[in-house]
Structure 1
């Protein structure tokens, strides 16, 4: 779906920013790059900043005017950090992603463009008037201007997240701490009960819990551990800590008796 989304950079002055934008695009699975009258391109600095996204640069289309870049697009969204005299529909990056994906869902073969302006001045009012929507990134109002590559990254990221969610694909990847999948299995209720018995025993031994006046300590600990979703590897660690604590208590008691 994102193959039909093009990133259009207008009159970019520094080739490194083109490379940074290309890298951001490839990170998020957006592949179409169109450059409108870039000051310097191709350029080694663009390749260096692309950091592996050279295919995006090699396939980039260079055109003379914005009109040429947008000629076959049915939806155009332009980024703007400034207020304009004529009110225009303004969306944030997440809303922009929705607009793009809604359009592509309705017309899968259509072309959609995200337009980014010059590093120092952004898009002109005339250029923004060629866009159906203006995209405003809600950054710090005291320092609202983003680097070009960062702005492309924000919009591309929102597009990817929304696209994954619509396809029912996961948006997070569980970290695997061990190759043994059994260790990642959640503990059973019986294993938790054995742990609580062990924990209470140790808390009594170290005089942290008075069995005559427990003050709801164990119920509170049960509630705490219940929120954690402990797996078997983590339970082994917890039980090991308790066992070593008991050994340390025993060694200390034995040393005191020898005295």
Structure 2
């Protein structure tokens, strides 16, 4: 089993090396192989399996049709949170609207955003759910945005590998576009290049911040007896939209720690 964040040791990491395809709860081993084939045809190599019902099998390798290296290098994680812990951007591919309010992207827009983040040095995950039921609401809650393939509404059911192929193709186009731009005057290190900044906050850093934010809001009685879920969903969207870097998260967590300390002192003074 390899690390979800690993890249081949003989390669200089580029945007495609920071993109991972995450399959959650895959039910049929053959679909894992077909997804691996779809990835390799488009230059992607990082596959992560989250709690698959069955491990990759002979059928998986047969349907991979030569993408054996992608299958052999696939990491397996127990939870989606573990699989995307180091990611700056997590996009959930879903075929239908759910109660979790997420920004909805078309595949081309999602690919452009994903490759843009990867080109800036961030880890990015595109997450695909179970063949029959897709991603759960709790799993979508871990995503920054959703991706919807605008298929024929009269026959909109794409199988897992077909969906992976569509997104892999769009990622390929976006990677090639970035590679073309990298030779221009705005390439990093050239005149007018992008300003360097702190590393983007990882998924685990943001989740740690959200947990502390929830505890702090409880400590200061922010909710006044109301259910906290709605406020936390809105706050999650607000902070995720801000695109915080690691240093900014540390500053915010310091503020929260002081707020918790003051709330504790206030309770002792009552």
Q: TM class by shorter-chain length? A: 0.5 to 0.7
Q: Distance in 2 between matches of 1:5 and 1:86?
A: 24
Deviation at 1:98, TM superposition (A): 0.9
Provide the residue aligned with 1:30 in structure 2.
Answer: 44
Deviation at 1:141, TM superposition (A): 1.1
Q: Which has the higher Rg, Structure 1 or Structure 2?
A: 1
RMSD: 1.2
Which one of the candidate residues 87, 98, 118 is aligned to 1:73?
Answer: 87
Q: Distance in 1 between matches of 2:43 and 2:127?
A: 17
Provide the residue aligned with 1:158 in structure 2.
Answer: 170
Q: Distance in 2 between matches of 1:161 and 1:86?
A: 29
Provide the residue aligned with 1:18 in structure 2.
Answer: 32
Q: Distance in 1 between matches of 2:139 and 2:131?
A: 15
Q: How does 1:76-225 map to 2 (within 5 A)?
A: 76-106=90-120, 108=121, 110-168=122-180
What number of residue pairs does the alignment pair up?
Answer: 167
Deviation at 1:85, TM superposition (A): 2.3
In structure 1, the gaps of 5 or more residues are: 170-259
Superposition TM-score, scaled by structure 2 size: 0.60
Q: Distance in 2 between matches of 1:42 and 1:97?
A: 27
Q: Distance in 2 between matches of 1:52 and 1:10?
A: 23
Deviation at 1:84, TM superposition (A): 1.5
- Is 1:4 the counterpart of 2:4? The answer is no
Q: Distance in 2 between matches of 1:149 and 1:101?
A: 21
Superposition TM-score, scaled by structure 1 size: 0.63
Q: Distance in 2 between matches of 1:125 and 1:86?
A: 6
Deviation at 1:63, TM superposition (A): 1.1
Runs of 4 or more off by more than 4 Å in structure 1?
none
